[in-house]
Amino acid sequence: MRPCCSRCTRAPQLFFYELNEKDNSSIYNHLPDIVSSLSVGENALSEEAFARVAKFLFDFVKKDKQTENLVERLCQRFKQTEDPRHWRDLAYCLSLLPYTSEKSIKRLVDSLPLYQDKLHEPAVYAAFEEILAKTRKFPKPEIKAFADEFEAKLAALHNVGVENEAAVAKAAAATKKAAAKGRGGKKAKSVGFADEPDVFEVVA
């Protein structure tokens, strides 16, 4: 990396480090908006670049209460967009959070209606599987049972979503094919009439 590029990269990082030292809540409070602005719109980064920036920023989230609130706030964003790219970025950010309390896991489960229709997207489902892997680190048997139940729900919703998406794609393809066939038939029919003699023409 060139020296100037390295300095340009370090400058914003130093800014966030200093901001975190002064007031950790400043970064935490703005994370959902930062995620959205870097995921969609004119300032959107590539998914690879977004992942690097998100990983850096979410490393500042250390407190259980912050994780609990961010889970809820990020999940709410799923209902505000129909862009699969934004779904993937939101799910990735959720997977970066440190699930070190029972409340944060339960908050994620309670928010299931907000993202259950997005689980057909492979990257979204993979992110939630990664979250489940984190929850299994809890030694309590009841948490493991809770995680098993959540995993079963996610898998079922994922499978249903994949099947529905396949059915929609199949129906759309059939409609497109029928429309193309219909246009072709009309064209052939009109050409056929143009070539035929007018049987009603009056002969002088």
For 203, the enclosing helix (H) or strand (E) is none
Residue 204, pLDDT score: 43
**What CA–CA distance (Å, rounded) separates 18 from 184?**
67
How far is the CA of 169 from the CAs of 85, 107, 139, in angstroms?
Answer: 19, 33, 43
Convert the pLDDT of each residue in 5-48 to its tens digit: 444 456 667 766 676 676 667 788 889 999 999 999 888 999 99
Residue 20, pLDDT score: 62
Residue 183, pLDDT score: 75
Confidence of residue 101 (pLDDT cuts 50, 70, 90): confident
Is 115 a residue whose pLDDT tops 90?
yes
Residue 186, pLDDT score: 58
Mean pLDDT of 53-78: 94
**What CA–CA distance (Å, rounded) separates 111 from 106?**
9
Is 190 a residue whose pLDDT tops 70?
no
Selection from 19-33, 101-115, 180-194 with the highest mean pLDDT = 101-115
Residue 199, pLDDT score: 43
| CA-atom Rg of the chain in angstroms | 27
Report angle CA 117, 123, 125 to the nearest 5 degrees: 50
Residue with tokens 């259980």: 64
Q: What is the pTM of this model?
A: 0.78
Is residue 128 within 8 A of residue 91, CB to CB? The reply is: yes
Average pLDDT, the chain: 84
* Residue whose C-alpha is closest to residue 74's, from 27, 129, 33: 33
Residues 6+ apart with CB under 8 A from 150: 105, 109, 132, 135
Mean pLDDT of 76-81: 96
Is residue 109 within 8 A of residue 68, CB to CB? The reply is: no
Convert the pLDDT of each residue in 145-177 to its tens digit: 888 889 999 999 999 999 999 999 999 898 988
Is 51 a residue whose pLDDT tops 50?
yes
